[in-house]
Amino acid sequence: MTESQYLESVFAMLGQPESRHADPAAWETLECELGVELPVDYKAIIDGYGPVKLNGHLNLDHPAAERWNLRQAMQRDALVWSEVPWEEIELDTDPRPSLGISDMKFGTPDGLIYAVGTNRDEAIFLGKGTGPQGWRVFVARDDDFFEYPMPFAEWLYRYLVGEDMAGPNSSAFVPGPVMFESLPMSANETVTAWYGPDRGM
């Protein structure tokens, strides 16, 4: 399938996007700070559903939301990961050759940019590779990085259908329709849950 077909497949799996927080100005501010335009499919998915938790473990933040703000998450993530002494760590799978950089970078146009997170000790990043593929997905897990040379929509689709998309033996498959959980916008707001369309799984 093409990138646009994977995006349509994600929409079909999750249901009609509500785009409650869609705000081009918020993306413009974020991309201006990052110094790079983020992938169209990634922004379409975040705009369509974020902020939300999928299947109890995958968090999608949004740049226009006051809480669960993607811009703040990216800033926080870049700071935390940049403080790791990478020169002292021997990685089995190193993202630097694919990115064309010699030093680990986070939150920069040529480095790794936080995309979504999980409560399974996985951090999902976007990175702009040096080859013709362009944007690709990198997953940090167990002190290593796993590269998926594909658009975000394809990675998410494969992740939700249960493929190993965060390294070996990493399937996070949940049968049935995808479960959504609201991310509370205030301290006293309760979490609500709902489900996407039946997907025959």
Identify any residues that bridge with 157 across adjacent strands, giving them in sequence order: none
Q: What is the mean pLDDT of residues 101-124?
A: 94
**Residue range 100-118: mean pLDDT, rounded:** 95
Residue 32 in this model has a pLDDT that exceeds 80: yes
Which residues, other chains included, contact 163 with Cβ-Cβ below 8 Å and sequence gap of 6+? 171
The enclosing H or E element of 74 equals helix 70-82
Q: Are 67 and 183 in contact (CB under 8 A)?
A: yes
Per residue in 38-70, pLDDT (tens digit) is: 999 999 999 999 999 999 999 999 999 988 999
Ranking 17-26, 65-74, 134-143, 184-193 by mean pLDDT, the lowest is 184-193
Distance CA 9, CA 155 (A): 12
Per-residue confidence (pLDDT) for residue 37, from 0 to 100: 95
**pTM of the predicted model as reported, rounded to 2 decimal places:** 0.94
DSSP class of 87: G
The residue that leads in pLDDT, 184 or 128, is: 128
Torsion of CA 104, 124, 118, 84, to 10 degrees: 0
pLDDT at 143: 78
Report the candidate in 54, 52, 49, 42 with the shortest Cα–Cα distance to residue 7.
42
